[in-house]
Amino acid sequence: MVDTLPVFELRFYSAQWAGPALQMRHIFDEVSVDIRNYLTSLHGEDAGKLLSAVVVDVDEQPELADRFTVQAVPTIQLLDGNEPILSLVGARPKIAVRNAIIESIEKRGNIAVSTNKKE
């Protein structure tokens, strides 16, 4: 069943000089784990392969930031293939980031909506 589901990439755009981005890094790391666990709870152990998490330093990879129209850090993007389906700009609480990502995944793919998941 996992083979028929979309594969998502979660990107965190950051820079060493950006205080809010440095503070958001731990939230990105925690949310990445939460989303993998969420997908696994819905679709079994192999579902963790449905999400990759990548950190992009905009100073080291400016062409990637430009290509995906990242104009501020921190920015968290969720991509389905090469298509951004969610962009969150600026610092946000973990629960807001997590919920926005889960909502976007559920709207985009064949991902069953779980009504009893709570943080």
In DSSP terms, 79 is beta-bridged to: 9, 84
Question: pTM for the whole thing?
Answer: 0.85
Question: Regarding predicted confidence, which is higher, 118 or 105?
Answer: 105
Contact 53, 12 (CB under 8 A): yes
Return the C-alpha torsion angle 45, 51, 54, 58, nearest 10.
-170
At 25-44, the pLDDT tens digits run 999 999 999 999 998 888 88
Instruction: Give mean pLDDT, residues 7-36.
Output: 95
- Note the pLDDT of residue 100: 98
Q: Which two tokens stand for residue 79?
A: 């991509």
Reference 57, options 18, 92, 20, 83; nearest CA is 18
